[in-house]
Amino acid sequence: MNGQFDPKRNGAPEEAAEKRSLRADHLQIGLPILAVAFIFLLSSVLQALIATLIAAASPRLLDLPGVSLVLSMLPMYLVAMPLSLLLYRLVPKRELACKAISFPTWLALLSLCFGLTYLGSFLGTALNFAVGALSGQMPENALQDVTEGSPLWLTLLFAGILAPILEEIFFRKLLIDRLAIYGDLPAVLLSGVVFGLVHGNFYQFFYAAAVGVVFGYVYIRTGKLRYTVALHMAVNLVGTVYTTAMLRKLDLSLLETDPALGLLRSFGGLSMMASYYLFMLAVLVSLPFAILHLRRMIRFRRGERTLTLREWARVLLLNPAVWCFLAVCVFFFAMALLA
């Protein structure tokens, strides 16, 4: 009959609109994650290619101090990251409101980051020991491998300065600006998990994902990278640069064969180690107070576009870009475990 209500006919436009929205969500979420996979994969391919060319031309160059660190960083910073901007630019971004935080709040965040770093490092090391016990071969610690033979100034430059700046731009600003439309919580969790996975090994995954969530929350609440860059620098300077310098001042072989002479020659390293453990103790003591202080600023805002759990499952699990990213991550995790 003319004029009779037809629920199927009237519901069709809504279903079509929902499908179009979900397709748009696939692109809005998938393309930034694909850009991260592109960074990860292209930089690794370039590293292998350059190393092969150097080995063919002059194999001794690969044995020079710092070459491994430079090869692991420059292809990412000079080629892969700039090219990934082409994918990021395809996705609209949301401008975040800028808000300042106090210095005591930043110090509380720093304490939280170090606490999560120590906990995550413990979990990652324990998991790798378990894998090593089952396989009979200890998995590689990629970060330690590339820093232990490099000049300290190169470690400071790449790990202490460049990595915090560039990684915060690409894994916080560019990624979260495009995910913030779905609300604070999804954007922060996704950016943290992605940041943990791109490290490509279990030694770094847990703490990188945890502090990545903290960095992401700080950025999405303040709209300013300077806070997260400063936090990232502090974590890397202590966790990578300082510990590398400390270990180099310890003569472990001499400590085993001649403890007295070993103690004398390793006095500087032992002093640094004592300072490091005192710092860890201070972090653990201050951590409960930091958490109490930070409880007041924890608030997750809803986004302009909200998805149900079922819609999130469809957007993530049926998204080719997400599967491409996961495939790349699984490959590099496997390589780290089997190397």
List the domain boundaries for the chain: 19-338
- In the prediction, which pLDDT does 133 show? 78
Is residue 287 a contact partner of residue 279, using CB atoms and an 8 Å limit? no
Is residue 147 a contact partner of residue 190, using CB atoms and an 8 Å limit? no
User: Hey, is 302 helix, strand or coil?
Assistant: strand
Is residue 290 a contact partner of residue 158, using CB atoms and an 8 Å limit? no
- In the prediction, which pLDDT does 1 show? 47
- In the prediction, which pLDDT does 268 show? 82
- To the nearest 10 degrees (0 to 180), the angle between helices 184-197 and 7-57 is 30
Is residue 221 a contact partner of residue 99, using CB atoms and an 8 Å limit? yes
Q: Supply the DSSP symbol for 330.
A: H
Going by C-alpha positions, the residue among 157, 181, 169, 161 that lies closest to residue 36 is 169
| Assessment of whether the complete model's pTM goes beyond 0.85 | yes
User: Hey, is 183 helix, strand or coil?
Assistant: strand
Total H helices, total E strands in the chain: 17, 0
Q: Consecutive sets of 10 residues in the chain, 339 residues long: mean pLDDT of each?
A: 51 67 88 93 92 87 83 92 93 90 95 95 89 74 74 92 96 94 95 94 93 97 96 95 88 67 75 92 94 90 89 91 94 83
- In the prediction, which pLDDT does 11 show? 56
- In the prediction, which pLDDT does 267 show? 79
